[in-house]
Amino acid sequence: MFKQHVFAPVCLEASVANPQVALMIEAIVPVSTLKMFVTQCDEDYHTFTREVNDRQRLRVDVVRFNRPLDSFRPQMSQSDVRALGFDGYALEFIDAPAPVLAAMCSRDKVHEIPIAVGKVNNERIESEKLFKEYVSDGTRFIITVGRYGSRSATVMTTRVRSDIRLLSSEGESDEVRATRDRLRQEIDDIRSKLDENEGKQRKLSVREQKVRDGHRNIEAREEELRIERQRISKEVATWERQKVHIETRRAQLSSMVSEEQRGEDGGRVQAERQKIEQQLRDNAQERAEAIAEIADSLTTMTDLVHRLALVGLGGQSEARQLAELKAEASRQREAIIEAQKLYEQAESSYNLAKAKAKQCLEETRKLTDAMTDDERQAVRDEQARRGRVTLEDLEIELSTCRQR
């Protein structure tokens, strides 16, 4: 169906290793960008919108940008940005295919927005108007410069959210990560099989069209033979009329022979007799030619009808194969939809578990704030002795602490 690879939503194709950096990148990249599909050519873009948006009526974002990734250049070099205290541009921390990164640069300018985990010299950046937008120390800064008068700068700040929504895979369990990878692989396999079956379907469609063209040609030839048969039938009818005429003339000749034997008008009867005999020979010749032509036409008609029957049987076989491939393509599409549902269920379970872990962490912090230094040290020693603690163990300990 597609000429080139169509990338899944950005949140599935892109990832950020550092959770703190992931928080800052999600602050500058909207959710609409993270959920959009990315195509690599205009034909695939139009095919996607026609099949998904128009026919299936799904509200899905898809984009197509023509610029290559290496054409996006920041206004300040990386070394100068790091000299100001930044860790780098947002683009440097995103791991994704080049077309996906190019789409993020075109849409959200991630190649021009520097980020820093710590603090930077905000006064210098604002006074010198070095950037239109940047993120540092958990805060997003947007600088707007007036068009008239003193062209003073206006700074709008927004705190970065503390929960990672889509980009970072930090904190995922092995089961969730394995399910995510398995679903991705299944979607890719189903997409490959669907493309293969669609290629076979296109070939069968071409063959079916050829069979249909041949069938139409045979039908046209059959119509010609039907007209020829009508012509032959008319000739046979003419031959029958001539036969009756000959029989009549033969009766007349017999009567004339009888008169000749009686000696009446012998010369006239002899001449008339010769004339009738010549007409009989001519009619017999025409009759023989008409019979031969009818025999040839009937033979040709029988052969064409036989060929038409063979072609019809072949067309039915090709039609059955085409119907089977269409059914297989439909089953593959249903499998893709089922795989996407499983993925959404896994993602929902992961979000619930993450929210529960965050709640437990907040309660743990409140409890530890009320402890003495000796109690905190005892808790650390116990955790070091026990190793990794599961979510269920943490809930039990929290319940015990509440009772105390």
Summarize pLDDT for 276-297 with one digit per residue, the tens: 677 767 766 776 676 666 666 6
**What was the pLDDT predicted at 102?**
92
pLDDT averaged over every residue in the chain = 78
Amino acid symbol at 233: S
List residues bridging with 7 in a β-sheet.
38
Q: Is the pLDDT of residue 372 over 70?
A: yes
**What was the pLDDT predicted at 385?**
72
Report residue 377's pLDDT band, with 50, 70 and 90 as the boundaries: confident
Cβ distance 210 to 237 under 8 Å?
A: no
Which of 16-25, 89-98, 242-251, 314-323 shows the lowest per-residue confidence on average (mean pLDDT)?
314-323
The more confident residue out of 127 and 111 is 111
Cβ-proximal residues to 288 (8 Å cutoff; 6+ apart), any chain: none
State the Cα–Cα distance between residues 201 and 195, nearest whole angstrom. 10
> What kind and span of H or E run contains 286?
helix 266-369
* pLDDT (average), residues 361-372: 71
Q: Is the pLDDT of residue 5 over 90?
A: no
Beta strand spans in 79-221 (E): 88-89, 114-116, 133-136, 139-145, 153-159
Cβ distance 132 to 107 under 8 Å?
A: no
Q: Is the pLDDT of residue 267 over 80?
A: no
Which of 23-32, 99-108, 387-396 shows the lowest per-residue confidence on average (mean pLDDT)?
387-396
pLDDT tens digits, one per residue of 14-70? 888 888 888 889 888 988 888 889 998 888 889 888 888 888 888 888 888 888 888
Q: Is the pLDDT of residue 251 over 90?
A: no
Residue 343 tokens, joined: 């993925």
The more confident residue out of 79 and 336 is 79
**What was the pLDDT predicted at 297?**
64
3-state secondary structure of 248: helix
Select, from the ranges 10-24, 313-327, 334-348, the one with the highest average predicted confidence (pLDDT): 10-24
Q: Is the pLDDT of residue 371 over 80?
A: no
Percent of the chain predicted with pLDDT > 70: 69
**What was the pLDDT predicted at 347?**
67
Cβ distance 74 to 82 under 8 Å?
A: no
3-state secondary structure of 219: helix
pLDDT tens digits, one per residue of 68-96? 888 898 888 888 889 888 999 999 999 88
**What was the pLDDT predicted at 304?**
64
The more confident residue out of 47 and 393 is 47
**What was the pLDDT predicted at 115?**
92
Of how many residues is the chain composed? 404
How does 111-141 read in b/e, with b if 16+ C-beta sit within 10 Å?
bbbbbbeeebebeebbeeebbebbbbebebb
Cβ distance 246 to 283 under 8 Å?
A: yes
**What was the pLDDT predicted at 392?**
64
Cβ distance 190 to 334 under 8 Å?
A: no
**What was the pLDDT predicted at 114?**
94
How does 229-238 read in b/e, with b if 16+ C-beta sit within 10 Å?
eeebeebeee
